[in-house]
Amino acid sequence: MKFVSLLVCATLLFAQRKSVNVGQREVLTGLDVLVREHFARLSGKHIGLITNHTGLSMDGKRNVDLMLAAGVKVEALFSPEHGFMGVEDQPNVADAVDAATHLHVYSLHAGPQHRITPEMLKNIDTLVFDIQDVGARFYTYSCTMIYGMQEAARVHLPFYVLDRPNPITGTHVEGPIIDPDLESYVGCAPVPIRHGFTFGELAQFVNGERHRDADLHVVKMQGWKRSDWWDDTNLTWVDPSPNMNSLPEAILYPGTCLLERVQNFSVGRGSRVPYEQIGADWLDARRVSAFLNSRSIPGVRAYPTRFRPTAYHYANQTIDGVRFVITDRNALNSVQLGLELIYALQQLYPGKIDIAANNHLIGSKSVISGLQAGTDPAAIEHSYSGALQNFLEKRKQYLLYSE
């Protein structure tokens, strides 16, 4: 009954289409485009659908329900981290059955491989991916897509990506390119931390630069521009994961998440505003805020605060923290903010945090070494600027949308 209630609540919450406000642009996601085409591209195919609670049309209807109503043969569902309903937050998520359709939901977050197996693909001749991203390399939905595309190529199945916006724009590209030997489930493509791709573009990039053998089909959006922030569109925000509750959190996430794996530190998970505030029981909020503001980081101000996480690090403890308030999102370099935060902690509390614990998130051994040595963030950014510029040139051929 709990599962059914969650389904009903989710459906009712997003059933009413958000009207287009002045200044907002009507955007059709890849799913909405297929709806208008009556799913002609999927006619006669036996579908395995990789999706979760974010796979909604502009009027709040679930992709699987729309497909089945149009006569598309959906054989099975596959869910990423946080499960099909997006409410799980644990290392392993079990398989499930969708209460409304009785389809089996294979969890791709149930073991160390995070991959679709041949046994899961029985009766399936096409894989379709439809999940909303947040635009950061270490947000695991991107690797769910990439691994799915790889497995589709391995068994010669077409792979469709129903494209959706990058909520933090497709023009802001920041951070170091990941080192190959640091690739993992939180970074499995040679891209910077804030990559500026939509998932359709990212799939094209990975297929073009690495694999070249996937039968990839991207269903493009209509109406979206690269410079759009999420709230420039008519689309309704759906929390893509339990600790990603707003656009400001998504904007700050590529920076503040760089410290997520430090055990004696909180990035705000389990609080009212995850990733918008950080803290620890050893941190002096005023001192750290003053230091960060003295650095004149463009587009953001730091304010002392206290908060009490209900889960994760410092659960049910009130701790000193720093709240970040975005003053100009177009000027803010989120990754720079993350580097400045680590630099501040190193300067004020030498050796207090284990920077190397975040090696797979930061993704660059040279950057990690620089941070450990107390190198100024400007010098660290300069050290990877050449590789970042090369990436910007390389990615141009894979972009699907103009500014």
Could you write out the DSSP letters of every residue in 318-368? -EEEEEEEES-TTT--HHHHHHHHHHHHHHHSTT-S-GGGGHHHH--HHHH
- Report DSSP state, residue 244: B
278-315 in b/e form (b: 16+ CB < 10 A) is: bbbeebebeebbebbeebebebbebebbebebeebbbe
**Residue 41 is encoded by which pair of tokens?**
């591209």
SS3 110: coil
Domain 247-372 has CATH 3.40.47.10: no
Which of 3.30.379.10, 3.40.50.1370, 3.40.50.12170, 3.30.530.20 would CATH assign to domain 2-238? 3.40.50.12170
* Packed helices 334-348 and 247-256: angle between N→C axes, nearest 10 degrees: 50
SS3 36: helix
Pairing of strands 96-97, 46-51: unpaired
> What is the C-alpha to C-alpha distance for residues 104 and 259, in angstroms, rounded to an integer?
36
Q: Any idea where the domains of the chain sit in the sequence? A: 2-238, 247-372
> What is the C-alpha to C-alpha distance for residues 168 and 134, in angstroms, rounded to an integer?
7
Contact predicate 170/227, CB 8 Å = yes
> What is the C-alpha to C-alpha distance for residues 135 and 181, in angstroms, rounded to an integer?
22
Q: Which stretches within 267-306 are classed as H helix?
A: 285-294
Could you read off the pLDDT tens digit of each residue along the chain, which spans 403 residues?
A: 433 333 433 433 333 334 445 578 999 999 999 999 999 999 999 999 999 999 999 999 999 999 999 999 999 999 999 989 999 988 889 999 999 999 999 999 987 789 999 999 999 999 999 999 999 999 999 999 999 999 999 999 999 999 999 999 999 999 999 999 999 999 999 999 999 999 999 999 999 999 789 999 999 999 999 999 999 999 999 999 999 999 999 999 999 999 999 999 999 999 999 999 999 999 999 999 999 999 999 999 999 999 999 999 999 999 999 999 999 999 999 999 999 999 999 999 999 999 999 999 999 999 999 999 999 999 999 999 999 999 999 999 999 999 9
Q: 268: closest CA among 322, 347, 341, 333?
A: 322
Q: What is the largest CA-CA distance in the chain?
A: 63
pTM of structure: 0.93
Q: 300: closest CA among 322, 267, 272?
A: 322
